[in-house]
Structure 1
Amino acid sequence: MPGKVGPADLLEHVFGRTGAADETVLQGPADGEDAAAVDWPGGTLVVSSDPISLAASQVGTLGVHVACNDVAASGADPRWLTAVVMLPEGADIEPISRDLDAAAREIGASIVGGHSEYVDALERPLVSLTAMGATESFVPTGGANPGDAVILTGSAGLEGTAILAADFGDDLDVDPTICERAETFLEEISVVPAARLVREHATAMHDPTEGGVAAGLLEIARASDCRLEIDRNAVPVREETVALCEAAGVDPLRIFGSGALLATIPEDSLESALESLAANGIEAAAIGTVREAATESGLELGDETITDPIEDDLYPLWSAVDAAE
């Protein structure tokens, strides 16, 4: 089954194999952390890399936003990008490069390098972006404290909803107008504006990607060694997401979640943070509370207790398509 390498394998085979020791590295590879932080003369350099390999639509747009979201969720403004574009033989690079350029311009980031080539073994394009930015105050995934409130900006499953509409919409029993509206959700994938407003209040920030909001919450809990109590009914989910997820038989909180931002905020700053977001036209909701971990870190999502890594519900759908072909 495709998906991220699990935390146990990363701990055993990856996190301890990071090359030469360097005292300027403030945050290196760790469970739940999507970005690195390096001390440099301009403050702290934040770096994050992410691939897009399965979505069939607008991979360039998704690639830019997913990588830049990780940098923004660490308290920095994305400024520089490198792009690696791997293409099936005969594929057209023009729409990908066009989307990369447009998305980078929207965020205000410069594409400064990369690599592109054709690969016989590929069936769809694979795009991997590295984003970099600077900050004076790095915000980790693992900074949540007991008593903090948990907020979500945007809605759950925006990226996954757009993927469902674009890649599977013709085969789902939904009104075509729902798919049309859902595909526009890719225009809302960036969390850079929300992160700029939240970062002054946040103890931790994280943008949910693979595995959706549920996986993002669990990653905060694991990285912070705490327990997150979440009211599932408080998590915003759009009607298009509900309709497409019901038709596909997937959970809106367990599909790709780019377009939302999770943050933990001290209770005395919660009202100020929510007011700031509302004043700038960004939807947000308080969805739960950070608690101490009684035995092990984890997520309490309604009446469900989750401690094991969460697999994205879209992967079996892609696997079924590949099997049918």
Structure 2
Amino acid sequence: MKSKKSILEVGVNTLQLEAEAILNLIPNINADFHKAVLAILESAGRVIVTGVGKSAIIAQKIVATFNSTGTPAIFMHAGDAVHGDLGMIQKNDIIICISKSGNTPEIKVLAPYLKQAGNLLIGMVGVMESDLAKQADLVLNTYVAKEACPNNLAPTTSTTAQLAMGDALAVCLLHSRAFNEDDFAKFHPGGSLGKKLYLKVGELALKNQKPSILPEASIKDVIIEISQNRLGAVVVIEHKSILGIITDGDIRRMLEKHSNLLDLKARDIMSVNPKQIDKDVLATTALALIREKNITQLLITEQDAYYGLVHVHDLLQEGII
């Protein structure tokens, strides 16, 4: 069995090889790369990304990144293309064909068909003398000196280089389109990522009860109100005005400070000037305030009127944290 040291050394060496391979791509961000970005920006069609084997998996990732950042893209498996999938290519589409060697049988067969309708063919390839490089209108050179695999066989460094080149394309396109957070939110409405971009704190408050109590309420009533609503707090309201807030922590501090609880009222133990935020503010901003003030509940308002409460657990459940 390999020693722990040797395993760690192999892991570090793998990352070093792949990091070096990516840095070696920098000179290949050249005139053809610039033309590829401009062509995609000016195209009225989509980007069709194709490949076979591990390159096909990278192609799918690049398609996903393009689509999520404002560049319409479709994946086409190189092996299926000559069995009918060529029909997905439309007149104005641009094709990116990914291959390490550029000489696999599928790519050799496919390349001429990709050009027959006059579509721009961009080859992402690691061998500049390959069939794909010669057929392509533009070439993105993803040459790597060796794979991280000790047998120099399993695609590791080469697929990392392809992925990095795809990311470079996508980010250049994103930057050129001035694609911003609002655009990003439109394409990512689901999951924690989308919620961070569009979820407003008022939407969370609406899911909760709206605990409130009068300033002259007894301590017993305060505790009952806090317990029933399970938000760890109650807001003290009089004539629709917010006077303060009472939290679990205020109850604990009350027990430490006072021996006679019968005469105490809500106003005697409430915290005045509670931290509050407008209902239309993003949940991420609310989270930042909660962290800054080291609190667990945040009072939500609408035009300075009491709207609801949000607990840090609400943000946790929504995946904001």
For Structure 1 versus Structure 2, the TM-score category normalised by the shorter chain is under 0.3
TM-score computed with the length of structure 1 as normaliser: 0.22
The structure with the greater share of residues assigned to helix is 2
The structure with the greater share of residues assigned to strand is 1
Larger radius of gyration: 2
Greater relative CO (CA pairs within 8 A, separation 6+): 1
